[in-house]
Structures are given as C-alpha cells and as structure tokens.
Structure 1
Amino acid sequence: MNEFTKPAIDIPAQVELLQARGLTIQSPERAARYLEVISFFRLSAYMRPFQKPKAQQETDHQFKEGTEFKQIVNLYSFDRELRLIVMDALERVEVAVRAALNNVMGTTYQDREPFTGSHWYLNEQRFKREYPHKRLLKEVEDKQSKESIHLQRDIKKINQSNVSASLKEQRIERRRRENYARFYHSCYDAPRLMPGWAMAEELTFGSISHLYRGLARDNDRKKIAKRFELPQEVFESWLHSLNFIRNCCAHHSRLWNRELSIPPKIPNGALWDLPERLEPSLVQPSRRIYMVLLMLAYLMRQVSPDSQWHNKVKALVTLHPEVPLFPMGFTENWYEHQFFN
C-alpha cells in the first residue's frame, strides 16, 4: 500500500494542470467557472475518453492532440440529460412495481390468517427462509416511530403557540395527516405496523427488489411479473439492474458508458436478439446502458402506453452527434428498433 500524497489545489491551478496535460482551453475563465460548480474530480470521469492510452503517455493523464475543454463539458452535459431521461422512466416504472406488488399480494391473501390482505407482509410465512423478514419489519417500524416523534414535536409547538383552540386543533390534524406513517401510528394500535399498500411506498426501491426476490411462492412472483408481461426470473433480474441504475442517477454518477457488473437477463424473442459484442470495440451491449434503455422502453409500453419517452431518447442522441455510441452499447441501426418507434 502507498501513502496518498496528492495536494489539494485551487481552481486556477486546476486549469493550469489541465493545460499542462495538453488540453486546449479557449477561455480559462469559463473553464474555471465550470470547475467551481461541477468539480475537477467529477469531470475527470469524462476526461478519460479524451486521454492518450497509458503506453503513449510521457506523463500521467495526457490528452490526445486537439482535445478541447468544451468536448469534456459537452459529454458531461449529455450524460446529465441522459440521467434525467432515464430517471423519468424509472420513476414511473418504480411506482408501477410498488402498485403491482401490493395489488397482487393484498388480494391474494385477503381471506387468509394470520394477517389478512391489508397486512400480508407481517406474515413471515409469505417469504423465503433466507429473507431478512425481521429487518423488513424494523425498517417499517423505524419509519413509524420517527414520524411519531416528529408529530409529537409538532403538536407541542402548536400547543405552545398563541392561537385559538380550534385553530390549534386544525393545525394538529393537518400535521397528523402530513404522511401516512404518522397518521397510522396515531390512529391505530393493531396491527402495530401500517398496511401493505403504505409499506410499499415507504421502502426504498432496493428494498422492494429484495422483497420481490424474497417472496416464498413462485406463483406470487409470477403474477406480479405478469403485470409487466415478463417471466418472473427476468423481472427479478431487471429489478436488480434498474435499482443499480437508479442509484447511479440519484447520486449524479456517470451513466453514458457505465458497465453493468451483473448483466440483466434477456427475454427470448427476436426483439431481444443482441450481438454478443460490438466490432471492433468488443463492447457487450447486454452490459451497457443500451440494454437498460431497451428495458425501460419496453416497460414504459406496459405502464404508460401513450408515453413518448422513446422519442426523448432518440432526440437526445440526435442532438449530440459528437458523443460516441459504442461505449453505450448501441447497436447499428438501433433507432429502427421497434421499442424506439
């Protein structure tokens, strides 16, 4: 192990460093403003495609001849727009997954004891033995307890205010109904946790993905996946991949040439017939954002048939012809694919 010795340097020194590495900067003042609001470290991920291979570098991180700072910024801007478009689809897909999960599980177990449909998830028998059921319950209970504490704090402040009793009552009721976790905790004492349809809205998408995989009955998983016209093993795989991409978007991480460490399962059929590798780059489309875009385009047809989301993808790529598509795994004539038409 080596000791880290790189010093922190100010913005003017960062501009000088980039110039010393061979990057053409037409306006150092403009470049400095970008570095102030984006940061050198974040932009460095978008510099790599423009840098010489290590074997050709006399010093570290040298840029290819003719590379300009604006090319790096343009790539960063493209990636930012791509994340926004992907997040738009992910939001609608995520909401639909939460709804499908509880619509299936709630109605399937409505007349079964213990814990009927409204609270189906409280029954540990609904889950595989290895699923961390106690962790699920604790996550929901922690949310309710936290909101209960916040509600009591709000009530105390309201009661200390110098307003009429009726106005205090109105304000307390509004605070109680601000979210369902605090409302349930303040109104019901059995079962101690909120119903399944509220629980599904409180969990992270990652927790929803784990919950789906942890369902004990194969038939339950199949019925949920059927809502999206997918085999359950494919749907399970897609939830895992989409959660990873969602986290990338939420943390503003690089997306355009991201490689998926675990590729999603590919359904059968000609529409999913992807080349093993692209030539001459040897990039695997199934491990790149192109596969994710195909997945989202397909899912958007299931959850929002009238959506023009696929056209937003095409428009973004058209507006940025300078961005290479092979690092994203785009196949030749990708724009002719049925999901993008």
Structure 2
Amino acid sequence: MKKAYTIDQQIARLKSNGMVFDDEEKAKEILLDVGYYRLGFYSFPYEIRFPRLEQRDHKLKTGTTFKSVYDLYEFDTKLRRLLLNALDRIEVNIRTKMIYNISLRYIDDPCWFVNRKYMASKFVNDFEEQVYAAMRKNPVIQHHHANHSGIYAPAWKTIEFMTIGNIITLYDSLKEPEAKDLVANTYGCSRGVFYNYIETIRVLRNKCAHGGCIYRMDFPKGIKRLPADISADCRHNIKGGIDVVKYMLGRISQTRKRELESEIYNLFNSIQTIEARQVVVHNSKIEY
C-alpha cells in the first residue's frame, strides 16, 4: 500500500510524471487547499494513456502545466455551483407542480400518496419505512402530528420534505396516466420524457451535491432528445445534462434560463489556458 506524500514529495512526483510548474510555492498552496488526490481527477485527461484507466501510469503529455490542470478544476467547481443553484430552482418547482396538480385532482384525500386507489401498492407498502420514518423527526412534521390527527401529514407538507429520488418514485407510482400528464404537460413533455428528464436531473444533482467531477460525467441511460433539443452526440454527457437543466428552467422562467446561459458562457470564456479549454470542449462538448 502506498504511503502519504509530503507537499515537497507531491511536487516531485508530479514533476517526475512530466508536469511543468511556473510557481511552485503557489502550487503548494493549491495542493494544501484542494488536495493531491482530488486534483488528480483533473490531470487525468492530460495523461498520455487517457482514457485507458486500466493502463494508467500517470505520465503526462509533453508541456502539461500545473496551471492548466488547476484551470480545469476551477471550471468544474464553478460549473457545479452554477448548476446546483439552477437544479434547486427546478426541484422546488417540480415539488410545487406535483403538490398542486395531484392534490387538486384527488382533492377529497389530502394523503392521496398512500391511497392504493391512486398509488402502486409497492409505494404504499414501503412508504412508512423508506420515506416517512425519517421524516417523523422533522420539527415541522412533529408539530403537525402534535396538533392534528391522522397517520400522515397532508401532501403539501409531506412532499415538501421528500428527496428528489422519493419524488421521482412517487411520480412513477401514480396509477392514472392522466395524473402523470397533469405534471408532465406543464413542462411540455410526455410522461416518458418527463420521467427521463427528472431522472437526469436527479443524477446530475447528486453528482454536483457530492462534489463529483462533472466535466466528463456520463448518463448511462441516455437523455431523450426532444423537446430539450439534445444533440445526438450529447445524450450521455454533461452537455446533454446542461441542456435538460436549461430546458426545464426555461419552462419556469425564461429570464433565469438566459441568466444561466450567460453564466456558463462567461465561465467557459474565463478559462485561462488553451489546454484546459480544449479538454472541456473534447470531454463535455461545451464551447462558445
């Protein structure tokens, strides 16, 4: 098993792999801030054997600079923050559309989400243990139960505290196609496309929220091309994911969509090194 390296050893090892430094003291500061291992995620596309991970020896292409690797890290970090802000807006809107449309359709049952008439039995069977048990510790839900009868809080309280994964399962478990249409159609989508887009949002949100690399992330299931106008070669990459975010955001607010487009444009054009820009274009298909 490998042992930990001191900062000087980290610099020496990077040099031995072919990395060029213009300011070693600044590089040491960055390594102590970001971490040698994490920064390695961003040196990967500069390696000679990229993308053959099973044969990785960390040797870098001639002329690879520490600055270009750090530029890629900075781009990825800032893009992740931009997307998290947009994803939060979309997630809140999906909750609102779900609560409003379905609660009015089943207006006589505020707890329609556990009614087997409207929901798949598996969702109802699993709801207490997999969703509501943890929610019972929430002060808002506790306050509700202290002041109202009933096993569960109504949909407008309960769904507010569900995870995006719970909400996707909830949507998928609705029995009536017409109920699903009420939500999907507000986004200009068919049921199948809407499910695909919210699943894309879930994957992207989780990746962003946990600090994962997104400049070359993959969507294994593939993103539906329409109505978000996804390019054929972007159905599995971050550009396709961003296009879904922009599409969904545009259904909520065209102003916010334009703001996000401008922010990503400015971020891409803020990349200082040509090498980092080329890596972004090649791996994520983002370019302006």
The correspondence for 1:51, drawn from 44, 47, 54, is 47
Matched, 1:141 2:97: no
User: Any idea what the Cα deviations from partners look like across 1:201-256, whole Å, max 9, x if unmatched?
Assistant: 11111111121112111111111011111111001011111101001110111011
Residue 181 of structure 1 aligns to a residue whose secondary structure is helix
Of the two structures, which has the highest relative contact order with CA contacts closer than 8 Å and spacing of 6 or more? Answer: 2
The correspondence of residues 181-220 of structure 1 with structure 2, limited to 5 A, is 181-188=141-148, 190-220=149-179
Identify the residue that residue 259 of structure 1 maps to in structure 2: 218
- Going from structure 1 to structure 2, the CA distance change for 1:263 and 1:144 (only over 3 Å counts) comes to closer
Matched, 1:81 2:73: no
Looking at structure 1, the residues matched to 202 and 173 of structure 2 have their Cα atoms a distance apart, in angstroms, of 16
Identify the residue that residue 128 of structure 1 maps to in structure 2: 120
The correspondence of residues 67-78 of structure 1 with structure 2, limited to 5 A, is 67-78=64-75
- Going from structure 1 to structure 2, the CA distance change for 1:329 and 1:214 (only over 3 Å counts) comes to farther
- Going from structure 1 to structure 2, the CA distance change for 1:224 and 1:7 (only over 3 Å counts) comes to same
Identify the residue that residue 326 of structure 1 maps to in structure 2: 282
Looking at structure 2, the residues matched to 313 and 144 of structure 1 have their Cα atoms a distance apart, in angstroms, of 36
Q: Is the 8 A contact 1:238 1:264 kept in 2?
A: yes
Q: Is the 8 A contact 2:135 2:161 kept in 1?
A: no
Q: Is the 8 A contact 2:20 2:63 kept in 1?
A: yes
Aligned amino acid, residue 120 of structure 1: W
Shift of 1:42: 1.1
Q: Is the 8 A contact 2:224 2:230 kept in 1?
A: no
Identify the residue that residue 237 of structure 2 maps to in structure 1: 288
Runs of 4+ in 1 over 6 A off after TM superposition: none
Q: Is the 8 A contact 1:24 1:68 kept in 2?
A: yes
- Going from structure 1 to structure 2, the CA distance change for 1:59 and 1:182 (only over 3 Å counts) comes to closer
What CA RMSD, in Å, does the superposition of the two structures yield over aligned residues?
2.1
Residue 104 of structure 1 aligns to a residue whose secondary structure is helix
User: Any idea what the Cα deviations from partners look like across 1:54-107, whole Å, max 9, x if unmatched?
Assistant: 79xx99211111111011111000001111111111011100000011111110
Paired positions, count: 278
The correspondence for 2:180, drawn from 213, 221, 239, is 221
Looking at structure 1, the residues matched to 120 and 164 of structure 2 have their Cα atoms a distance apart, in angstroms, of 19
Looking at structure 2, the residues matched to 26 and 187 of structure 1 have their Cα atoms a distance apart, in angstroms, of 65
Matched, 1:180 2:176: no
Aligned amino acid, residue 143 of structure 1: A
Residue 222 of structure 2 aligns to a residue whose secondary structure is coil
The correspondence of residues 97-136 of structure 1 with structure 2, limited to 5 A, is 97-111=94-108, 116=109, 118-129=110-121, 131-136=122-127
Aligned amino acid, residue 62 of structure 2: E
Larger Rg: 1
User: Any idea what the Cα deviations from partners look like across 1:118-151, whole Å, max 9, x if unmatched?
Assistant: 211121332234x43233233453234324xxxx
Looking at structure 2, the residues matched to 296 and 310 of structure 1 have their Cα atoms a distance apart, in angstroms, of 10
Looking at structure 1, the residues matched to 210 and 190 of structure 2 have their Cα atoms a distance apart, in angstroms, of 30
Residue 7 of structure 1 aligns to a residue whose secondary structure is coil
Q: Is the 8 A contact 1:79 1:256 kept in 2?
A: yes
Identify the residue that residue 313 of structure 1 maps to in structure 2: 264
- Going from structure 1 to structure 2, the CA distance change for 1:273 and 1:187 (only over 3 Å counts) comes to closer
User: Unaligned 5+ residue runs, structure 1?
Assistant: 148-178, 277-283, 336-341
Task: Give the TM-score normalised by the residue count of structure 1.
Answer: 0.76
Q: Is the 8 A contact 2:238 2:284 kept in 1?
A: yes
Q: Is the 8 A contact 2:114 2:127 kept in 1?
A: no
Of all paired residues, the percent bearing the same amino acid is 22
Residue 235 of structure 2 aligns to a residue whose secondary structure is helix
The correspondence for 1:239, drawn from 192, 195, 198, is 198
Identify the residue that residue 66 of structure 1 maps to in structure 2: 63
Deviates more, 1:93-102 or 1:318-327: 318-327
The correspondence for 1:272, drawn from 229, 243, 247, is 229
Looking at structure 2, the residues matched to 227 and 122 of structure 1 have their Cα atoms a distance apart, in angstroms, of 24
